[in-house]
Amino acid sequence: MNENHFPEFAAKMRKAGSSDAAIRAFQHSYNSLITGHTGMISESTIQPIAELPRLEEISRGKPPNVELLSQVVVIKLNGGLGTSMGLERAKSLLEVKNGLTFLDFILRQILQLRERNKVPLRFLLMNSFSTSRDTLQFLRKYGELGDPALLELRQNQVPKVDAKTARPVSWPENPQLEWCPPGHGDLYPSLLGSGILKQLLADGVRFLFVSNSDNLGATLDLGLLTYFAESGNPLLMEVAERTLSDRKGGHLARRDGKLLLRESAQCPESDQGAFQNIERHRFFNTNNLWLRLDALKELLDANGGFVPLPLIKNTKTVDPRNKSSPPVFQLETAMGAAIDSFNNAGAVVVSRRRFAPVKTTSDLLALRSDAYSVTEDWQIVLANGDSPPAIDLDIHDYKMVDQLDEKLADGIPSLRDCRELIVRGPILFSSHNVIRGKVTLTNNAPVPHSLAAGEYRDCSKEV
């Protein structure tokens, strides 16, 4: 694949109204594709990181600077639909606890911070073309936030690449399927191309805190904001310690004096043993990032209007529901990969309390249960300890949200004192079930069976 058809992509993007920043960012990814630049990072070129500052240490005995709230903008990445769980609307509109959605909790946290500190804390949602309409309609419930349109940072969309020709794919049956989201690395060209970065800087906003909308643990921490403001770091990444369940995910490392992220796809097969060694490579990215906006502007200017992020190439079909449709490449980037584009970028270790994303119905069950509680300022926190229960629901019977809802029609079991729950087969729970310790429940029948009321502690039981 060595023919460069980028002018065709640029013309298509300009016709669709894409900004120059979005086009330049896509050009960087496309050039990586056609030149075969894999972005592989071998173990011999990096060094593991033994220690990093920890949130509980850096904030101990140091009063937070409330005045910094007037100089920060909070952005929530809100582009996902949650299709892997059977959702067709913005994932943030899924009910998670006490009849409230992800977005309810996020907005109430922002309003609480504004009210308590008497500061008009700035807030934006980075929506995709798939989530924008439903999200903006939902925001009308919170009139005190102002015009919903002014709360939106719109994610770009980029053309899908025909895998055979490296040209823009054509699909007249549904032209919208010719486009795809470019990943959350699009944060940077979106801020620049929309003019929002320029406006924020003009308004005296110096700092940005960004996190995923499905991670309700990622609240604006004043102590962490104060530390970041005083550190001088252009970028600060929140990381957590890897466990065995995280071993196949990416990790933080150091190369040529800079921090970097290495994902599994960037690791040669011969180095996978070292990649998955959680004692050697101890930390992973939570996707909670703090950025200095002036440093981001300098980096964008120095690179001609984009951040040179490594390519993530996803192989799909142009119509994901039609496997016989033409194969395409969807070109994406990840925002955390910018860490090695900055000199003096930093990282801080946080507890799992700040990393509670909902990627599966197992995560959703934990969040809905009494394993988590809601504070007066609308934060969702672990009710007992620092680690959530490890839940493994049968993928055949619980993969989709509607399947989970069916099994919880009579209420949600108590999981406050649960360390691990494994469920195999269709089991109907109720609010009269209490799970403690490590429990395995099995139903070998094809029809759902109800779990009898009572306590289940450190046991394996066939229902």
Strands 418-424 and 390-393: parallel
**Fold held by 6-354:** Spore Coat Polysaccharide Biosynthesis Protein SpsA; Chain A (3.90.550)
**Topology, domain 361-462:** UDP N-Acetylglucosamine Acyltransferase; domain 1 (2.160.10)
Quick one: which H or E segment has residue 97?
strand 95-97
The DSSP-derived string for 122-133 is EEEEEE-TTTHH
Q: What is the pTM of this model?
A: 0.94
Does position 324 have pLDDT exceeding 80, yes or no? yes
Matching residue, tokens 């109430």: 108
Query: Residue-wise over 176-188: b if at least 16 C-beta within 10 A, else e?
Result: ebbbbbbbbbbbb
Q: What is the pLDDT of residues 198-253, one digit of tens each?
A: 999 999 999 999 999 999 999 999 999 999 999 999 999 999 999 888 888 889 99
Q: How far apart are CA 415 and CA 424, in angstroms?
A: 17
Measured CA to CA, the distance from residue 136 to residue 133 in angstroms comes to 5
Average pLDDT over residues 272-277: 95
CA distances (Å), origin 450, targets 411, 432, 436, 454: 12, 11, 18, 12
Q: How far apart are CA 348 and CA 359, in angstroms?
A: 23
- Residue 12 banded pLDDT, cuts 50, 70, 90: very high
Q: What is the per-residue pLDDT across 388-446, written as a single tens digit (0 to 9) for each?
A: 899 999 999 999 999 999 999 999 999 999 999 999 999 999 999 999 999 999 999 99
Residues 6+ apart with CB under 8 A from 42: 267, 268, 271
Alpha-carbon distances, residue 442 vs 6, 112, 423 (angstroms) = 54, 43, 6
| Cβ contact 407:362 at 8 Å | no
Does residue 1 carry a pLDDT above 70?
Answer: no
Would 6-354 and 361-462 be classified into the same CATH topology? no
pLDDT at 453 over 90: yes
For residues 457 and 252, give the distance between their C-alpha atoms in angstroms, rounded to a whole number.
37
Query: For the purposes of burial, counting CB atoms within 10 Å of the CB of 383, is it exposed (0-12), middle (13-18) or buried (19 or more)?
Result: middle
CA distance 39 to 386: 35
Cα(6)–Cα(137) distance, rounded to whole angstroms? 36
Angle at 264 between CA 190 and CA 249, to 5 degrees: 80
Q: Tens digits of per-residue pLDDT, 362-398? A: 999 999 999 999 999 999 988 887 788 999 999 999 9
pLDDT at 2: 65
- Return d(Cα 86, Cα 91) in angstroms, integer: 10
At 209, which amino acid appears?
Answer: F
Q: Are the CB atoms for 326 and 317 separated by under 8 Å? A: yes
Q: What is the spatial distance between Cα 80 and Cα 28, in angstroms, rounded to a whole number?
A: 24
Break the chain down into helix, strand, coil percent, rounded to 5.
Answer: 35, 25, 40
Domain ranges for the chain, please list them: 6-354, 361-462
Residue 406 carries which side chain, given as an amino acid letter? E
